[in-house]
Amino acid sequence: MEQQKCLCMPLLGDSFPELYVNTTHGPMNIPGDLKGSWFVLFSHPADFTPVCTTEFVGFQKRIADFDALGCKLIGMSIDQVFSHIKWVQWIKETLGVEITYPIVAGTETLAQKLGMLHPEKGSNTVRAVFVGDPEGKVRLVLYYPQEIGRNIDEVVRAVRALQVSDEQEGALPANWPNNELIKDHVIVPPAADLATAAERVKLYENFDWWFCHKPLKQ
């Protein structure tokens, strides 16, 4: 019986695996060089491919949004640095967009370490997104197939939502900050006993004791 390869990947709350990599900006230690900063590491199947090109332009077009969140961007694929450099030059010359974030020259070993190589999807990396916090912990993981490009606005929203959730000690609803029921409010953590459940409905806006919410602090 053929033994399947183990598909390993960092899980939510894990420390991000330490990676020593070469990039278009020189050698990097991820997450060591990013300590104290939020970061998004995103992989693409290959340089000089249409969907990946639209994604890289999309991330660059929103660089100000990520900067405002104190979040650094790092791209990656299993291509050599010289290929990344040529592709970045092509994007600037042809599309008029200068890619300012580093792109990692990935290896198969590195991609397997992050769960980016799926056996049924060939040798290219899937479209993975990892969001790490200032302590180097994995806070969000997204996986897209090769045939579907990512929604970059959702990545921006997710980073902002994670930061707000941490700062304001609560959960955030679907489609935050434009939820259909409570708009941009923060959901209060659930009560752990009867007394707290009774008190919650007096302190917060609510639909019931288990669904209390509070305005977003500015």
Nearest CA-CA partner of 33 in 99, 104, 84, 100: 104
Q: Where do the structural domains in the chain lie, given as residue ranges?
A: 19-150, 169-218
pLDDT classification of 4: cutoffs 50, 70, 90: very low
Domain 169-218 in CATH 3.40.50.12710? The answer is no
The C-alpha atoms of residue 18 and residue 2 are separated, in whole angstroms, by 31
Number of other CB atoms surrounding residue 137 within 10 Å: 15
Name the β-bridge partners of 143: 128
Give the percent of the chain with pLDDT over 90.
Answer: 75
Tell me, what's the pLDDT at 146?
82
Question: Which position has the token pair 């370490």?
Answer: 113
Q: Is 52 a catalytic residue?
A: yes
13-27, 98-112, 195-209 — which is least confidently predicted? 98-112
Fold of the 19-150 domain: Glutaredoxin (3.40.30)
Tell me, what's the pLDDT at 106?
79
The secondary structure of the chain as a DSSP string is -PPPPP---PPTTSBPPPEEEEETTEEEEETGGGTTSEEEEEE-S-SS-HHHHHHHHHHHHTHHHHHHTTEEEEEEESS-HHHHHHHHHHIIIII-----S-EEE--HHHHHHTT---GGGTTSPPEEEEEE-TTSBEEEEEEE-TTS---HHHHHHHHHHHHHHHHHTSB--TTTTSBTTTBTPEEPPPPSSHHHHHHHHHHSEEEETTEEEEPPP-
Mean pLDDT across 25-31: 95
Q: Give tens-digit pLDDT for 48-99.
A: 999 999 999 999 999 999 999 999 999 998 889 999 999 999 999 999 999 9
Number of other CB atoms surrounding residue 56 within 10 Å: 24
pTM: 0.90
The C-alpha atoms of residue 125 and residue 144 are separated, in whole angstroms, by 10
pLDDT classification of 3: cutoffs 50, 70, 90: very low
pLDDT classification of 217: cutoffs 50, 70, 90: confident
Average pLDDT, the chain: 90
Tell me, what's the pLDDT at 147?
86
Q: Which one of 6, 8, 52, 71 is the catalytic residue?
A: 52
Tell me, what's the pLDDT at 2?
40
**Quick check: 124 pLDDT over 70?**
no
